[in-house]
Amino acid sequence: MHVRVRYAPSPTGLQHIGGIRTALFNYFFARARGGSFILRIEDTDRERYDQAALQDIYDTFDWLGIGWDEGPDVGGPHAPYFQSQRLELYRRCAEQLIERDLAYYAYDTPEELAAMREAQGHKGGGYDRRGRNYTAEQIADFEARGIAPVVRFKGPLDGETVFEDMILGRVSKKNRDITPDPVLLKSDGYPTYHLANVVDDHQMQISHILRAQEWIPSAPLHVRLYEAFGWQPPVFCHLPMVMGKDGQKLSKRHGSTSVIEFRRQGYLPEALINYVALLGWAYDDKREFFTTQDLERLFDAARINKAPAVFDYRKLEWFNGVYIRNKSDDELEALMTPILMQAGIVSDPMSEGERSILRGALPLIRERMKYLTEAPELVRFLFTDQLQYKPEELIPKKMDAAGTVELLRVARELVNGFEQRSDEENEERFRARAEELGTKMGNLMMPLRIAVTGSRVSPPLFGSMRLIGEQRVHQRIDTVLQLLQSQGGTDE
């Protein structure tokens, strides 16, 4: 069987984790089986349609580096791939069902439907199928009143609908429990999701439907529609839910879920893809790291889980850190440069001097970043002498201003000529001196670190100082000494 799968988003909101999980599973399934991956835009809900959401679909997958074989922008044998441009097809299909007495025009006014719902109370049994029984006279009357009909499906009233889901196994539903006579075509000529989805999956020769489990309640209706049309349904494969750690369906409450937000926060697309591929799928019980190319080869739908997947922000963060660590210097430079430009830390374009500092900083910070967005704070002190010293942070814990001044003076002297010594030799010098003074090496280093970097935590100090140069290091120490003295440190 030639595998053809689709991702069929509705452009009503931003792409989120659940959406890209569905897209990626389809994409990897297609690639691993030598099949085709199709993007179809399900834009028949004109009220909720959002142009920005459509652009977000393109931007998201462009950033992720995932493309489709057929779709609105690339075309293909089943174009157009926007449902809003296929209205004629849906209308013809609805008419086919009417001709076979498997669908009918229903003329209810909104007021009548509201009254019906009211009479049903809050339990709401759905449409009471009254439209099946209107007489020719009643219909003529509706028409005379200018009421535009919808087309409703005439579903069977008894029996059972059964299908085999690739993941869930046998799924069955009593026909009487399927939505009663759902609308297929709205009075404005637009199809509902159910009709358009079924018609397009058939017409586009979709072989497998991989979609979120929240669509499982719709699947029996879809099966009935395929049968009404006399078409063979695709293989259904409903993907496990994605939950937050509290066991609730993943939502904004759990933190950011839109892909654009992850991008903004400094995640790498390859880390996100890797992690999302594991939301409900496993290669075996050990391996966790997969490049996109690995997944294109190794993805096997037989290994999709039934049980819900839990989205763990911590784990994603960890993946991201590992992916950042594994970047080459060139890749990391390219990723960081625009971020540093935006933060105003380097100029645009970056000068040669700035570039050489950045290159020198990469080995110092690579291990320390979980997000690319941490880069500006980590390296700012290398590029500017205008450090914001917070008075309360100038003095290391358990020390006073006078003690800090004293140790900083010692450190200033120890720093002399540091560029000519190795990091080990410099450290040794500090250690030996600390011992002589009967204090901890940390106590001697901390005031220096704060003076040079403006912070208690920083990349390795001697490596950083090399990038700054002895003269500027001395200047920074002097600035801090002055600050401390004005705060009451001794001034001999």
Residues annotated as catalytic (active site), given as ranges: 252
Q: Phi/psi at 122 (nearest 5 deg)?
A: -70, -15
* Contact present, 367 and 325 (Cβ < 8 Å): yes
User: Applying CB under 6 A, does 215 fall inside the site for ligand GLU?
Assistant: yes
User: Measured between alpha carbons, how far is 237 from 251 in angstroms, rounded to an integer?
Assistant: 23
Give the nearest distance from C-beta 60 to ligand GLU in angstroms: 14
Question: Which stretch, 5-13, 125-133, 165-173, 458-466, contacts ligand GLU (CB under 6 A)?
Answer: 5-13
Residue partners of 134: CB distance under 8 A and separation at least 6:
107, 142
Count of other CB atoms within 10 angstroms of residue 181: 21
Nearer to ligand GLU, 42 or 108 (CB): 42
Q: Please count the other Cβ atoms lying within 10 Å of the Cβ belonging to residue 119.
A: 9
Closer by beta carbon to ligand GLU, 42 or else 181: 42
The residues that bridge with 185 in the sheet, in sequence order, are 151, 191
Length of the chain: 492
Cβ-based neighbour number of residue 175 at 10 Å? 16
Which one of the spans 4-12, 96-104, 323-331, 468-476 is the region binding ligand GLU (CB under 6 A)? 4-12
How far apart are CB 9 and ligand GLU at their closest, in Å? 5
Give least dist CB 212 to ligand GLU, A: 7
Contact 404, 476 (CB under 8 A): no
Q: 169 phi and psi, to 5 degrees?
A: 80, -145
Could you say which residues in the range 31-50 bind ligand GLU, by CB under 6 A?
A: 42
Among 154, 211, 224, 238, binds ligand GLU (CB under 6 A): 211
Of 474, 26, 94, 24, the C-alpha closest to 237 is: 26
Closest CA to 81 of 38, 37, 24, 29: 38
Dist CA 431 CA 416 (whole Å): 15
Report the amino acid identity of residue 115.
Answer: A
* Residue closer to ligand GLU, measured from CB, 38 or 446: 38
Provide, rounded to whole angstroms, the least separation between the CB of residue 81 and ligand GLU: 13
Considering the complex, what minimum distance in angstroms separates the CB of residue 211 from ligand GLU?
4
Site for ligand GLU in 427-466 (CB under 6 A): none
Structure tokens that stand for 253 in this block = 């409450």
Work out how close the CB of 278 gets to ligand GLU at its nearest, in angstroms, rounded to a whole number.
21
Q: Of 6-14, 84-92, 227-235, 378-386, which segment contacts ligand GLU by CB under 6 A? A: 6-14
Interface with ligand GLU (CB under 6 A), residue from 60, 197, 213, 426: 197
Only one of the segments 3-11, 377-385, 458-466, 470-478 lies at the binding site for ligand GLU (rule: CB under 6 A); that segment is: 3-11
3-class DSSP state of 284: coil
DSSP letter assigned to residue 243: E
Task: Count residues near ligand GLU (CB under 6 A).
Answer: 7
**Residue closer to ligand GLU (CB basis): 178 or 365:** 178
Q: Does 8 bind ligand GLU (CB under 6 A)?
A: yes
Rg for the chain (alpha carbons), in Å?
Answer: 32
Q: How far is the CB of 36 from ligand GLU (least distance, A)?
A: 16
Residue listed under structure tokens 């404005």: 188
Nearer to ligand GLU, 38 or 410 (CB): 38
- Specify the residue, 89 or 116, whose C-beta has the smaller distance to ligand GLU: 89
Nearer CB in complex with ligand GLU: 36/197? 197
d(CA 464, CA 380): 11
Q: Is 163 in the site for ligand GLU (CB under 6 A)?
A: no
SS3 146: coil
CB closer to ligand GLU, 215 vs 283: 215
As a whole number of angstroms, the distance between CA 308 and CA 234 comes to: 23
The candidate with the shortest Cα–Cα distance to 480, out of 383, 395, 379, is 395
Distance, CA of 324 to chain centre: 18
Among 3, 4, 10, 380, binds ligand GLU (CB under 6 A): 10
Q: Residues 418, 465: contact at Cβ < 8 Å?
A: yes
Q: List beta partners, residue 208.
A: 235
C-beta closer to ligand GLU: residue 197 or 274: 197
**Residues contacting 310, CB < 8 A, separation 6+:** 242, 243, 244, 245
| Residue from the set 4, 5, 9, 468 that interacts with ligand GLU by CB under 6 A | 9
Q: How far is CA 469 from the centre of its chain?
A: 42
CB of 38 to ligand GLU, least distance (A): 11
In the complex, minimum distance from the CB of residue 398 to ligand GLU, in angstroms, rounded to a whole number: 58
Site residues for ligand GLU per CB under 6 A: 8-10, 42, 197, 211, 215
